[in-house]
Structure 1
Amino acid sequence: MQQVDAGSYVVDLCAALEAITEGGERIRLESKVEEGIFVSADKAIPLGLALTELITNAVKYAFPPPHSGTILAQVRRHQPGRIELVIQDNGVGMAGLREGSLGYGLVRSLVQQIEGDIDIRSEAGVTVTISFPDLPPEGQ
């Protein structure tokens, strides 16, 4: 099974997505990752798509001019056997989740593909936490 270093993957995706922040003067995109977290290639693709969608939404909606702020993407081991991808912004927050929105449906579908859970909170910005099962140890 091909494995992808989740930390490097998130850092590289964030670097590629910096272009949509219009030079980073008003909106900063940061990443904070734990070392040594690997995911299967089958999980890396939906994770990358979900990350891209969530960061794009944050850029579009979290900081209407003249607001400025930071979007933080994190990968961490939440507990034994679980990994978390967290996208957090300190923007204006959400009045309510639009269940029928295309982006929300896409992210939900991608999270289901990796057998994960999603938690969305709007407190001092928006925090989206995707939790999913870790790879089994080598040889299992």
Structure 2
Amino acid sequence: MEPIIQLTREPLDREALVAAVSDPSVGGIVVFEGVVRDNARGKNVRYLEYDVYEEMARQQIASIIEEARQRWSVERVAVAHRFGRLEIGEASVIIVVATPHRSEAFEACRYLIDTLKSTVPIWKKEVATNGEEWVEG
């Protein structure tokens, strides 16, 4: 199965992503969902804004997925990330990994989110009650 990569302004659909990677051949499906919280580094966050360099982000996400496939038995995977304005409680990123065994699914999912946050050109601006700033990953 070709990996699913979504970069969108629309709300993310966790159930659709899980359904897309589900298959009788997999024994473990792990979902990571990152949501907008109301606080960060002692600040009261009102909302977040994400910006993305779409073409490069898609290429880098595809490369990260390929690395995960080589390291673990990742059979099916979906990576979805929002951009634009996100309110408190909304999902900013969802990663779904399906593998024959649970341990591989957990390891690959953690690798995907950690590597995505540190390498993919997606930027986050926190808008708080006392100002706003662009922050790392």
Asked if these proteins are the same fold (TM beyond 0.5), I'd say no
Higher relative contact order (CA 8 A, sep 6+): 2
Higher strand share: 2
User: Normalised by the size of structure 1, how large is the TM-score?
Assistant: 0.33
| TM-score of the aligned structures, taking structure 2 as reference length | 0.33
